[in-house]
Amino acid sequence: MAKKNRSISNFSGTLYGVTHVDSKAYGAHVRAERGSIKPAKLNKKLKQNTLDMPKVNAQAKVVFDALKPYRGDCYDGGWWSRLVRLLKRHYKAGQLPDYSLLEGDELHEMHKLDSLMSGLTVELAMKKKEVDVQLKYEAHPSFRGEGITMYTLSVISLFIDRKALKAVTEAVEFEKLKRKGKVMPLVATLALPKKVDVVVVCVKVTGIYEDGDPSHSGAAKGMRIVKVSEL
């Protein structure tokens, strides 16, 4: 019968920074001498990043949470990471967040609003207690597949107090539009909340079948942050 050899030399105590241990749980083994392993030191950039990320996350969460009731499945799993990455790009401690960095951001990288409605432009007209959001586009949305004869357009505006990191959301969904005939500008009039200093405007499009039911296909939907403006 073969004899079983132990791979650890027969010594006890600590030798050259290595301690021999013979425990009931793990048997004979060696480990580094206690106190010999020092914790790794973070460089200045990593230390600063550790301090900055909770604040950047809080800035991104304002937009993420405010759009949650309206986005449905018009977003992908990477949208949160993109929000954080965009806001982190120009983050500076003590300064207000720069939400203009989000302008043009698609909530879904594969199913984009821009692919369905190229040439969409948005103009804002500020009033004392209201904001007019005007949508202009050159052609009806170009949905793939058959049976989609109509569509809906929604304007979701986030009025943000950047100092308090709070948002008030105003949303308008236009009546169903037919995918034929002349394209006309659309205007959504939104109430202007108090104590806000920036507005983030998002537009969502959804294809509608002839029977009036919305399409559940990701390819027939799109949502994008189309305009960011200071108030």
Range of the domain at 112: 44-230
Question: Is residue 35 a part of any domain in this protein?
Answer: no
Average pLDDT, the chain: 87
| pLDDT band, residue 119 (cuts 50/70/90) | confident
SS3 54: helix
Question: Is residue 189 a part of any domain in this protein?
Answer: yes
- The mean pLDDT of 161-170, rounded to a whole number, is 96
Question: Is residue 133 a part of any domain in this protein?
Answer: yes
Looking up tokens 């296909």 gives 217
Question: Is residue 2 a part of any domain in this protein?
Answer: no
- pLDDT, residue 28, reads 72
SS3 108: coil
CB atoms within 10 A of CB 70: 17
- pLDDT, residue 8, reads 47
Q: What is the CA radius of gyration of the chain?
A: 28
Question: Is residue 19 a part of any domain in this protein?
Answer: no
User: Per-residue pLDDT for 93 more than 70?
Assistant: yes
Amino acid present at 21: V
- The mean pLDDT of 76-85, rounded to a whole number, is 94
What DSSP string describes 126-172? E-SSEEEEEEE-SS-----SSSEEEEEEEEEEEEEETTTTEEEEEEE
| pLDDT band, residue 52 (cuts 50/70/90) | confident
Question: Is residue 21 a part of any domain in this protein?
Answer: no
201 touches 124 (CB < 8 A):
yes
How many structural domains is the chain composed of?
1
Question: Is residue 172 a part of any domain in this protein?
Answer: yes
- pLDDT, residue 60, reads 96
In angstroms, the CA 209 to CA 199 distance is: 33
- pLDDT, residue 76, reads 92
Angle value at C-alpha 151, between 148 and 154, nearest 5 degrees:
155
User: Per-residue pLDDT for 89 more than 60?
Assistant: yes
pLDDT of 135-165, one tens digit each?
Answer: 999 999 999 878 999 999 999 999 999 999 9
Whole-model pTM: value is: 0.78
Question: Is residue 10 a part of any domain in this protein?
Answer: no
